[in-house]
Amino acid sequence: MTNTQLEFESYGWPQQFGLADCWRWQFLPSGLIYRPYMAGAKEPRFASSWVYKKHHGWLWDSTLGGRVAILRYGTTNPVWPQGWELGIEGAAFPRLDLEQDRDLVSVDFRFGMPLTYRRGVWETKFSYYHISSHLGDEFWITHPGASRINYARDAIVIGLALRPNDSIRYYAEADWAFYSDGGSDPWAFQFGIDYTPLIRCRLPGNPFFAVNGHLRQEVDFGGEFTLQAGWQWRGQAGRSLRTGLTYSNGQSSQYQFFNMHEELLGVGVWYDY
């Protein structure tokens, strides 16, 4: 018996991705049916990235939040659960300017409630979220000519993902805002690829790779492209710690500056529940 087989058995991973498991009601279950996109700029998690912005200097981007399951009707496998799941998510996305004594440039806030479903290799998501953006007080003081915009969205999301095996996920989603303000327009689209083994790994871990594209109507369906690659360690219930390089190019994901172009390159640390 190989080490891989032992790892699969340690999680009770049956044939056909756990379809034979019994479905039951679970409150605050372990794991997630629809995990955050690894390279998504506005996905809830704990993360810090130190990036160099072309023609500016060093910035410190962080994500302070997460996504958890509240109620599930499905299987109990924490790594590959099947069934229906109601979750809750929230995060703050502050940006600090390391060239200006770590002044707060801006911070975006997101809250959402995703309803997700998995059967076999397919995952689906129907979600509501609210996002708003706020200019930092220190930035306002040092840039007296800057004007704050009231960027906000209340949106409905439909997402679809395919996992042909335990390491690769292809995904796409459509995002329609029924309320938008501050320059935000209704439609946005997101798509990408994640490569990350779901099974628990022993030291020294394994590599990961992620690509994300985000197109937004408010910038004439331009947006940002993000690439991440590095090393990952995975623990119980599919939780993961990653570190590596990150690169993004396109319109800013800090929505106070949504119509401004930026190119970022740096290193990051990401933790997902």
Give the residue numbers spanning the domain of 179.
Answer: 3-272
- pLDDT tens-digit profile of 122-180? 999 999 999 999 999 888 888 887 888 999 999 999 999 999 988 999 999 999 999 99
Domain count of the fold of the chain:
1
Strands of the chain, DSSP E: 24-27, 46-53, 57-74, 83-97, 103-119, 122-135, 152-162, 168-181, 187-195, 206-216, 222-234, 240-251, 261-272
Angle at alpha carbon of residue 213, lines to 209 and 215, rounded to 5°: 170
Which pLDDT does position 11 carry in this prediction? 39
Torsion angle in degrees (nearest 10) through CA of 259, 61, 273, 4: 100
Residue in 18, 14, 38, 9 with CA at minimum distance from that of residue 171: 38
Which pLDDT does position 202 carry in this prediction? 65
pTM of the model: 0.90
Which pLDDT does position 80 carry in this prediction? 87
Do 16 and 163 meet the contact criterion of CB atoms below 8 Å apart? no
Kindly report the CATH number assigned to the domain that includes residue 230. 2.40.160.40
CA 199, CA 131: separation in Å to the nearest integer? Answer: 33
Neighbours of 258 (CB within 10 A): 19
Which pLDDT does position 200 carry in this prediction? 65
Tokens matching residue 20 = 């034979």
CA 117, CA 34: separation in Å to the nearest integer? Answer: 8
Which pLDDT does position 108 carry in this prediction? 98
Neighbours of 11 (CB within 10 A): 18
Q: What are phi and psi of 142, to 5 degrees?
A: -85, -10
- pLDDT tens-digit profile of 195-216? 988 776 666 889 999 999 999 9
- pLDDT tens-digit profile of 232-263? 998 877 889 999 999 999 999 999 999 999 99
